[in-house]
A and B are shown apart, each in its own frame.
Chain A
Amino acid sequence: MCEVTLPMTLSFAHRHVLEDHIVGFETRPNPHHLAVVRRPTILCVLAHAGFEGGVKAALHALEGVCVRICGPAEWLVVSHSVGPEALLRLVREIEGVSAFDHSDGRVLMRIAGPNVRSILAKCLAVDLHRDSFAPGASANILIAHVAGNLARIGEDAFEIIVPRSYAGTVFEEVKEMGREFALTAGFSED
């Protein structure tokens, strides 16, 4: 038996019936959250024939960047702290390299949560078990029918890079796949 006591004065704020439909039902991140990074630096880097090993080592030696594998002798260099011009200058100092700024042409999304693999399993057909795709791994993968880059940044956290013209589709698709776990989405703080 419990008594329900209502406060004597109730204040009502006017709220349009479609408010949630427009703004989103959840305003704070749930355990499963899709974060869109506003302005990351993303460079596309290719190594000339014969310089693959040297370029790879030099890229990994750069500070404040993550190196994502696209294929043989091709990488995406991602940074949240160094601007595109400064990073491009640094990368182009490496011998046998061709580097281009793709920051405006690519969209970076970060998805995290305890069941993130179940969400991703609905829109990509690659085994993401840690035995075959360990934290730190990255690869070009078909994501929601779009050729993108997937990186595992933690046990239950992944980063997706897709071309900007397809970003809307991928974003909507991943949100839909995450409905089972009440996936929320928003811009990230950094």
Chain B
Amino acid sequence: MASLITCPHCGVRPKEEFSIRGDAVPVRPAPNAGAEAWYAYVYVRDNPKGRIQEYWHHAAGCRRWLVVERDNVTHEVFSVRDAADVARSGSGEAA
């Protein structure tokens, strides 16, 4: 259930403790990237159905940014990871 999020630091918590920022898939372009890249990063969004990744902020708990992978049809949660860990393990050294 998406209404219960298992925070990697705090354990099982109700969704009321979190605020959702949005899609965690777009990667921030370099500062000198062209207007096209920035336009796409800021405004252009898919509206996917199914498995999605989102940034969730545990506002009333550990106040860490998390990356929640969930299904927006079945509300099933597949994984919850600290956003800092995701950034470190992802594309390069630091986000």
**What range describes how many residues of A lie at the interface?**
10 to 19
Is B64 engaged at the interface, CB distance under 8 Å to the other chain?
yes
A147 to chain B, nearest CB (A): 4
- Please determine whether A71 and B12 come into contact, CB atoms closer than 8 angstroms: no
Contact B62 A72 (CB under 8 A): yes
Main DSSP-derived SS at the B contact region: loop
Contacts of B16 in A (CB 8 A): 125, 142, 145
Q: Check A71–B62 contact: CB distance below 8 A.
A: yes
The A/B interface has a contact count, at CB < 8 Å, of 47
A177 adjacent to chain B (CB < 8 Å)? no
Partner of A71, one of B13, B14, B61: B61
Instruction: Flag whether B37 is at the interface (Cβ < 8 A).
Output: no
Q: How far is the CB of B85 from chain A (nearest CB, A)?
A: 11
* A98 located at the interface, meaning its Cβ lies under 8 Å from any Cβ of chain B in the complex: no
Query: Would you list which residues of chain B between 4 and 38 have a CB under 8 Å from chain A?
Result: 9-14, 16-17
- Given A71-B61, A71-B64: A140 in contact with B11 (beta carbons within 8 A): no
- Give the docked Cα–Cα distance between A72 and B60 (Å): 14
**What CA separation (Å) do A132 and B6 show in the bound complex?**
13
Q: Which residues of B contact A142 (CB under 8 A)?
A: 14, 16-17, 60-61
Residues of A near B14 (CB, < 8 A) are 125-126, 142
0 or 1 for each of A106-134: is its CB under 8 Å from B? (1 = yes): 00000000000000000001110000100
Enumerate chain A residues within 8 angstroms of B59, measured Cβ to Cβ.
147
Contact A147–B60 (Cβ < 8 Å): yes
Asked whether A70 is an interface residue with its Cβ less than 8 Å from the other chain, the reply is: yes
List the A residue with the shortest CB-CB distance to B10: A139
Q: How large is the interface on B (under 10, 10 to 19, 20 to 34, 35 or more residues)?
A: 10 to 19
Name the residue of chain B whose CB is nearest to the CB of A133: B11
Residues of B within 8 A of A125 (CB): 13-14, 16
CB A175 to nearest CB in B, in angstroms, measures 21
- In the bound complex, CA of A72 to CA of B62 (Å): 7
Which of A74, A127, A132, A142 lies at the interface centre, i.e. has the most chain B CB atoms within 10 A of its CB? A142
B61 touches A141 (CB 8 A): yes
Known contacts A71-B62, A140-B62, A126 near B9 by CB under 8 Å: no
Which of A71, A132, A145 has the most CB atoms of chain B within a 10 A radius of its CB?
A71
Give 19 new A-B contacts, CB below 8 A, not counting A127-B12, A141-B13, A145-B16: A71-B10, A71-B58, A71-B63, A72-B9, A72-B62, A72-B64, A72-B82, A74-B62, A126-B11, A126-B12, A126-B14, A132-B12, A139-B11, A140-B62, A141-B17, A142-B14, A142-B61, A147-B17, A147-B59
Instruction: In the A-B complex, list the 8 residue pairs whose CB atoms are closest, starting with the nearest.
Output: A71-B62, A147-B60, A125-B14, A142-B60, A140-B61, A142-B17, A72-B9, A139-B10
